[in-house]
Structure 1
Amino acid sequence: MSWWSGVWRSVWSALSREVREHVGTDHLGNKYYYVAEYKNWRGQTIREKRIVEAANRKEVDYEAGDIPTEWEAWIRRTRKTPPTMEEILKNEKYREEIKIKSQDFYEKDKLGKETSEELLPSPTATQVKGHASAPYFGREEPSVAPTSTGKTFQPGSWTPEDGKRQSQ
Structure 2
Amino acid sequence: MSKAPSLFQRFSYVYKTSRFPWKKHVLIGHDLSGNEYWQAPNPNQPKGRPKRWVKMLEKQRESDFTQDKLPVQWQAWLRHTRPTTPTIQEIIAADQRRLMIQERARQLDEEWAMRKLELEKEEALLIEGNRPPTSKREQQDFVPGSWSPEARER
TM-score by length of 1: 0.53
Query: Secondary structure of 2:26's partner?
Result: strand
Q: Deviation at 1:84?
A: 0.7
Aligned to 1:58: 60
Cα deviations across residues 107-151 of structure 1 (Å, max 9, x unaligned)?
1111111112222312979xxxxxxxxxxxxxxxxxxxxxxxxxx
* Matching of residue 118 in structure 1 with residue 126 in structure 2: no
**Greater strand share, structure number:** 1
Aligned to 1:94: 97
Q: Of the candidates 48, 51, 54, which is equivalent to residue 49 of structure 1?
A: 51
Cα deviations across residues 82-126 of structure 1 (Å, max 9, x unaligned)?
11111111111111111110111111111111112222312979x
Q: Of the candidates 21, 25, 29, which is equivalent to residue 26 of structure 2?
A: 21
Q: Deviation at 1:21?
A: 2.4
Aligned to 1:103: 106
Q: Deviation at 1:73?
A: 1.3
Aligned to 1:13: none
Counting matched residue pairs gives: 104
Q: Deviation at 1:35?
A: 1.9
Query: Secondary structure of 1:122's partner?
Result: helix
CA–CA distance in structure 2, aligned partners of residues 60 and 33 of structure 1: 17
Paired residue type of 1:91:
A
Q: Deviation at 1:78?
A: 1.8
CA–CA distance in structure 1, aligned partners of residues 127 and 82 of structure 2: 55
Q: Is the 8 A contact 1:33 1:50 kept in 2?
A: yes
TM-score by length of 2: 0.57
Structure 1, gaps ≥5 residues long? 1-16, 126-168
Q: CA RMSD in A?
A: 2.7
Q: Is the 8 A contact 1:56 1:62 kept in 2?
A: no
Paired residue type of 2:120:
E
CA radius of gyration, larger in:
1
Query: Secondary structure of 2:117's partner?
Result: helix
Percent of aligned positions that are identical: 24
